[in-house]
Amino acid sequence: IHVLRNMGGNLELLNIRTVNGEKVADIRVKSSILNGTLVSGDIIPTLIDEIPAIAVAAAFANGITTIKDAAELKVKETNRIDAMVTELSKMGSPIKPTEDGMIITGCQITNNDNTIIEPLIGATFETYHDHRIAMSLTIAALGASTPSTILGSSCIDISYPDFFSDIASLSRGN
């Protein structure tokens, strides 16, 4: 939430409450133009599981997003840095790994009539059996200019069995 807000994301927290000792809320998200940002330092340990989603948001933003101080991502179940660089590159995203993160140049460069000059294209994605990568790449696929295929997407069932039906209901406006 903090990173997306720093990128210009329009997020509103509603019904803030504590459940089982953790702060939770409903989140209302409105369409917004995201801008590149720097993600580093003390916030990184709180984002280890969210970095794949942040990388996708950065791929669709204006400008450059730099993620650093995230070397721990290389030693999770999957090397999430290499995985996201490999998979987003398939879409034509100018993304490159660094020693402790990645640099992502967003595709939202527009011409005078506000159309995207070089949209990201669909691809056939590997999930690396990582549900976070699979969900992030599914969202990336929704923004692509051509269809995509997500191989091994059943790993999403580990954490969010209703993910695809929820995404489908959102796209129908429910």
The residues near 104 (Cβ < 8 Å, ≥ 6 apart) are 36, 55, 58, 59, 61, 64, 65, 66, 67, 88, 93, 94, 95
Q: Is the pLDDT of residue 174 over 60?
A: no
Q: How confident is the model at residue 86 (pLDDT cuts 50, 70, 90)?
A: very high
The pLDDT score that the predictor gives to residue 72 is 75
Which is the catalytic residue, given 49, 69, 82, 100? 49
Residue type, 172: R
Q: Is the pLDDT of residue 73 over 80?
A: no
Question: Cα torsion at 43, 108, 82, 68 (round to 10°)?
Answer: -30
Q: How confident is the model at residue 154 (pLDDT cuts 50, 70, 90)?
A: very high
The pTM of this model reads: 0.90
Exposure pattern of 19-52 as b/e (b: 16+ CB <10 Å)? eeeeeeeeeeeeeeebbbbebeeeebeebeebbb
The pLDDT score that the predictor gives to residue 173 is 57
Q: Is the pLDDT of residue 37 over 60?
A: yes
Quick check: is 162 catalytic?
A: no
